Chains A and B, each alone.
Chain A
Amino acid sequence: MKLAIRGLDVDIGERSLCRGLSLDLHGGESLAILGRNGAGKSTLLSTLAGLRPIQHGAIEIDAVSIAALSARTLARLRGYCPQQQQDAFSASVLETALVGRHPHLGRWRWESGQDVALAQAALEQLGLDEMTARDVHTLSGGERQRLALAALLVQDPQLYLLDEPLAHLDLNHAIAVLELFAARVAATQASVIAVLHDPNLARRYFQRALLLFEDGSWLEGAAADVLTQENLSRLYAHPLHCLQDGATRWFVPHTADHNNIHPQQTGE
């Protein structure tokens, strides 16, 4: 699977969010999108998912424009996890995970025992296997978020588009989810594009990073090259410090008590 973005403009209403975005993403690669609130991260992600019309530019999967693909074909290529999960009607956890099988089942087929087994395996990977019969309305925010990710694993696409996958997750589950997707990318040659708010996790778990600036400009490259003190301070319009721990760099936002940090600890 190869995703190619060529000269893509992303607009919302009258506002232009991102201009002339071009990049290639191959199977087995992961990309983190970072930016301030309202910078157009989610809009870009849903455009990549084919859920918004492309105003200018092109998005291709294996050299075919996603606009030319049927919704069903597209659903077998890419999976999309929106920022928020809304349940108007009650449904069990298992039923909700099983929706991921929809693009793989013919119109007249019902979910088989094999499909249920796939759903159960995905729920187990996200630590939800104890609550398959629970009503989604009784889940906590973090549990509901993990359920949405489980449904995405059941969908088994080649390109995962995750909009803030770590929202509502506690620390251990956030790390577990990142490791899970990193392992899946390595094992299946799938790709992941995720909107994140933590540059440290982006740097640790993603090979590449895309920064969306307020003025519509963007910067993309290897995570180690792009996620620097200078770029991140500009991105968030807030000074960041860089702490060196062996080979690993940690970015922390500047606060009043940072004056106590020794100068030699700040890198770059």
Chain B
Amino acid sequence: MPSPRRVLLIMFGLLAASVASILIALAVGSFSVPPGDVLAALTGDTTSMGAEVVMKLRLPRALGTFGCGGLLALAGALMQVLLRNPLADPHVLGVSGGAAVAALLALLLGAGVAGVNVGAFCGALLAMLLVFGLAHGDGGWTRARLLLTGVIIASGCTAVVSLILSIAPEQALRGMLFWLMGDAAHITNPWPSLLLLAGGLLVVWPFARELNLLARGDQLAQALGVNVQFLRGLVYCAGALFTAGAVTTAGSVGFVGLVVPHLVRLTTGNDQRVLLPAAALAGGCLLTLADTLARTLVAPHQLPVGVLTALIGVPLFLYLLTRKTAATKDVR
């Protein structure tokens, strides 16, 4: 258990990093805006050259990406507790699969950005209800049954996605592939994902100590006074909703939801009271930085952000993992 001082330090550090990542996202791009102009634009000065670019184009995208990354990391942390499986991520229970099928169908039918978003969200909710209903069965649901149902629905969705990709016309393919890899280029309104992130964190955080017990097993949690059935339902619904919100905003971004909770766990330990807010901030940072790189690396072309999250995350994670192992060896 980290000391309260350490927790405050970590939180302030992550908050500063979050602000910094958003400022970087605002300043950097094919049209470079000096930091002074960025701050001026943010404080309402519209006279500078870059004000339009910063306020109209980059700010919604940076904030939306931040919200989306936070949602994915939060959903991943919740799924890892719910399934008591460190390999769980937001996509494991088929929610993103459902969103992908619906989004690709919308793209196939030639729908616009709004249509694709609505489709993705409906698809995600449908998959969520389907998995929940099937896993529930006649008795209560067990972890193994929930995981199996989710994984099977997810593979079913993958097959449908492949089917759509193989029959889709050539000109629609690029948009579809970008959606599947995660693409933040279409974010125009950051508020849905940011509000969902803030509201979700407020709902889930009061249960964080109970989540610590749930991670140690249902029986132990129940014996120590946790209403396990209610909590599992809450965690499932919250995790699925966060995932739905994230994939609706920026497509099916991989890696963030799996790795960010582990990155945070390596530095703060596994107390959910620290882990949940820290993962939300760290996930937001990582995705914002990744998206900034995605639009600058080969500018004026843009890369799908999902590719960048893995390219940044893999070396970072491996570095922390080896450092952590070395540190624990010294202690013993």
Binding site for B on A (CB under 8 A): 46, 49, 51, 70-76, 79-80, 82, 86-92, 94-96, 98-100, 102-103, 105, 107-108, 110-111, 133, 135, 138, 155
Contact = CB atoms under 8 A, between A and B. Distances in A.
Contact of B220 (A82, A89, A108): A82
B222 A95 contact: no
Contact of A91 (B4, B225, B270): B270
Nearest to B332: A138
Interface string B222-240: 1111111000000000000
B6 interface: no
A89 B215 contact: yes
A123 to B, nearest CB: 14
Contact of B222 (A71, A94, A107): A71
6 contacts: A70-B227, A73-B225, A82-B219, A89-B86, A91-B270, A99-B213
Nearest to A78: B223
- Highest count of chain A CB atoms <10 Å: which of B4, B217, B224, B269: B224
Contacts of B85: 88
B223 A111 contact: no
A110 B225 contact: no
Interface in B257-275: 265, 269-271, 273
Contacts of A75: 223-225
A100 B220 CA distance: 10
A105 B209 contact: yes
Contact of B215 (A80, A88, A98, A105): A88
B203 to A, nearest CB: 13
A103 B224 CA distance: 6
A87 B215 CA distance: 8
Contacts of B210: 102
Nearest to A46: B219
A127 B153 CA distance: 49
Nearest to B225: A75
Nearest to A100: B224
A99 B219 contact: no
A72 B273 CA distance: 20
- Highest count of chain A CB atoms <10 Å: which of B217, B225, B226, B271: B225
B327 to A, nearest CB: 12
Contacts of B1: 92, 94-95, 98, 111
In the A-B complex, the 10 residue pairs with the smallest Cβ-Cβ separation, listed nearest first, are: A75-B225, A72-B225, A103-B225, A80-B223, A88-B84, A71-B225, A102-B224, A89-B270, A95-B1, A75-B224
A86 B217 contact: yes
Given A99-B213, A102-B213, A133-B331, A79 B223 contact: yes
A82 B209 CA distance: 21
A83 B3 CA distance: 32
Interface of B: 1, 4, 84-86, 206, 209-210, 212-213, 215-217, 219-220, 222-228, 265, 269-271, 273, 328, 331-332
Given A90-B270, A102-B213, A107 B225 contact: no
Given A82-B220, A89-B265, 13 more contacts: A75-B223, A76-B225, A80-B219, A80-B223, A86-B217, A90-B270, A91-B216, A94-B1, A95-B1, A95-B269, A99-B212, A105-B209, A107-B209
Contacts of A138: 332
A138 to B, nearest CB: 8
Contacts of A95: 1, 269, 271
A107 B216 contact: no
Nearest to B220: A82
Nearest to B85: A88
A72 B219 CA distance: 14
Given A88-B85, A91-B270, A102-B209, A71 B220 contact: no
Contact of A74 (B84, B225, B273, B332): B225
A123 B224 CA distance: 18
A45 to B, nearest CB: 11
B264 to A, nearest CB: 12
Contact of B225 (A88, A102, A135): A102
Contact of B226 (A46, A71, A79, A88): A71
A4 B202 CA distance: 42
Contacts of A49: 223
A54 B227 CA distance: 17
Nearest to B273: A110
A76 B224 CA distance: 8
B227 A71 contact: yes
Contacts of B265: 89
A51 B222 contact: yes
Given A88-B85, A89-B270, A95-B271, A51 B219 contact: yes
Contacts of B227: 70-71
